[in-house]
């Protein structure tokens, strides 16, 4: 059967469909953006997220979310929100599935550890590592000169996956301080400049903004759900003034510096006043259903607020690329931040987790040191080839960082046991 050539997508230009490495035309009933989504969905990097920590380690509880299940949930939220705004749903879906690909073992704690180790060579940043995976490390397309091109996604999909559209050197000031978040390492700037060709400096396309908001909404709600199910918190604890003050304080410190505590407390009160707020869960099927309804209703509340506010500014037309920006009402932004603050208070910052975080950082530091000292001997074949092609010690260290970042939690521990020695139980 002969299928038609991949069709163009309404609302996007030919330049948006270009790829870093030109590919021969294919007979397919999919759009170019549908091909992008399929490439991410079938990537080994996405599969590995199934064994990487979201907040709680994936092998400690059958219920908690992994990076993979989180990414799938973000993609579902983002696809529907983006479609309602007129974005191509496959562009948003591909970006949402991609957004955490660069995260190393042990979640944000692992990211911090690798950033410290890689400080002299430009640091480590999960979003910059995502771009590196999509455009270099993930095996799919190789240029005619033998240079790897990663998944070789279209310009629109790569740009949509770029949460922080700047390099470390060009990072903007946030609250008077230069942000440590960035989207591209120095040696990935050629492809970064290509994907950003014609884009306003420092501004994300609306598809990337949908991805970013969907990520915030998803993990703010789901992390609280996971914390309740795991027994870390009951929402009735917020009746205690000391516990409530802790939540407000962490929300202010971590997510809303400069915001008045009273405004944060008012946002928490608005959430408590919703009819779906689950003050106490006993693990029964009825209470679990109520908890699931709460997460669903809060996601809808936050998405509908952004959708209505954005449509109020831009009207009903299709919104793609740089034709518009997401409008998020301040009250909704405060409510999302409060949900993040709940998980931060009762899971991330609890004292019993600090020794765990320290041990995880030690594992990654020991792995990098051992691999860097043994050349290409213990590297996977792809990374061993990168190591041999590297021109200096900085490039070789970056290859080692790439290898370690690709590991899952379990494979990092197994490699440590093989190369360094047994690791005392982390849990």
Instruction: Decide: 188 and 53 in contact? Cβ < 8 Å.
Output: no
Instruction: Decide: 150 and 137 in contact? Cβ < 8 Å.
Output: yes
Q: Please give the Cα distance from 61 to 373 (Å, whole number).
A: 36
Alpha-carbon distance values, 385 to 145, 149, 369 (Å): 16, 15, 19
- Predicted TM-score (pTM) of the model is 0.94
* CB neighbour list of residue 61: distance below 8 Å, 6 or more residues apart: 230
Q: Please give the Cα distance from 109 to 52 (Å, whole number).
A: 12
Q: What's the pLDDT at 5?
A: 40
- Name the strand (E) or helix (H) holding 173: strand 173-174
If one counts the domains in the chain, the total is 1
Q: Tell me, yes or no, whether 337 lies in a domain.
A: yes
pLDDT digits (tens, 9 = 90+) for 170-209: 999 887 888 999 999 999 999 999 999 999 999 999 999 9
Q: Tell me, yes or no, whether 216 lies in a domain.
A: yes
pLDDT digits (tens, 9 = 90+) for 319-335: 999 999 999 999 999 99
- pLDDT exceeds 50 at position 1: no
Q: Tell me, yes or no, whether 229 lies in a domain.
A: yes
**Residues pairing with 148 in the sheet:** 142
Q: Tell me, yes or no, whether 403 lies in a domain.
A: no
Q: Please give the Cα distance from 300 to 294 (Å, whole number).
A: 10
What band does 60 get if pLDDT is binned at 50, 70 and 90? low
Q: Tell me, yes or no, whether 109 lies in a domain.
A: no
- Domain region containing 344: 206-349
Find the DSSP H helices in 32-122: 32-41, 44-48, 67-85, 89-98, 107-117
Neighbouring C-beta atoms of residue 243, cutoff 10 Å = 15
The residue to which tokens 């480590």 are assigned = 124
Q: Tell me, yes or no, whether 415 lies in a domain.
A: no
* CB neighbour list of residue 355: distance below 8 Å, 6 or more residues apart: none
Q: Tell me, yes or no, whether 3 lies in a domain.
A: no
**Residues pairing with 167 in the sheet:** 184
What is the C-alpha R_g of the chain?
A: 22
Q: Regarding beta strands 173-174 and 177-178, do their DSSP bridges make them parallel or antiparallel, or are they unpaired?
A: antiparallel
Q: Tell me, yes or no, whether 157 lies in a domain.
A: no
């Amino acid at each position: 059967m002969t299928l038609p050539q991949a069709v163009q997508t309404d609302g996007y230009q030919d330049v948006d469909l270009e790829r870093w490495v030109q590919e021969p035309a294919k007979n397919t009933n999919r759009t170019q953006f549908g091909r992008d989504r399929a490439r991410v969905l079938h990537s080994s990097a996405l599969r590995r997220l199934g064994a990487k920590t979201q907040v709680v380690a994936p092998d400690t509880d059958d219920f908690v979310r992994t990076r993979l299940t989180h990414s799938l949930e973000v993609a579902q939220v983002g696809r529907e929100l983006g479609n309602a705004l007129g974005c191509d749903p496959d562009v948003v879906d591909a970006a949402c599935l991609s957004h955490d690909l660069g995260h190393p073992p042990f979640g944000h704690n692992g990211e911090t550890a690798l950033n410290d180790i890689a400080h002299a060579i430009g640091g480590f940043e999960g979003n910059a590592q995502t771009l590196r995976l999509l455009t270099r490390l993930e095996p799919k397309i190789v240029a005619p000169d033998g240079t790897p091109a990663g998944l070789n996604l279209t310009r629109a999909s790569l740009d949509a996956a770029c949460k922080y559209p700047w390099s470390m050197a060009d990072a903007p000031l946030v609250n008077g301080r230069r942000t440590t978040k960035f989207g591209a390492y120095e040696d990935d700037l050629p492809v970064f400049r290509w994907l950003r060709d014609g884009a306003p400096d420092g501004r994300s396309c609306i598809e990337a903004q949908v991805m970013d908001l969907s990520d915030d909404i998803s993990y703010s709600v789901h992390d609280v759900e996971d914390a309740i199910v795991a027994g870390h918190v009951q929402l009735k604890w917020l009746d205690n003034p000391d516990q409530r003050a802790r939540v407000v304080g962490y929300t202010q410190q971590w997510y809303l510096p400069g915001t008045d505590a009273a405004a944060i407390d008012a946002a928490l009160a608005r959430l408590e006043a919703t009819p779906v707020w689950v003050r106490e869960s006993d693990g029964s099927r009825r209470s679990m259903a109520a908890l699931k309804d709460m997460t669903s209703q809060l996601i809808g509340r936050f998405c509908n607020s952004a959708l209505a506010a954005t449509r109020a500014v831009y009207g009903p037309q299709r919104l793609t690329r740089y034709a518009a920006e997401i409008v998020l009402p301040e009250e909704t932004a405060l409510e999302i931040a409060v949900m993040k603050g709940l998980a931060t208070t009762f899971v991330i910052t609890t004292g019993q987790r600090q020794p765990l975080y320290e041990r995880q950082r030690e594992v990654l530091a020991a792995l990098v040191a051992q691999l860097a000292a043994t050349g290409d001997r213990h590297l996977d074949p792809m990374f061993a080839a990168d190591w041999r092609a590297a021109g200096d010690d900085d490039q070789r260290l970056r290859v080692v960082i790439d290898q370690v970042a690709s590991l899952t939690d379990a494979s990092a521990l197994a490699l440590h046991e093989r190369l360094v020695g047994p690791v005392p139980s982390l849990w």
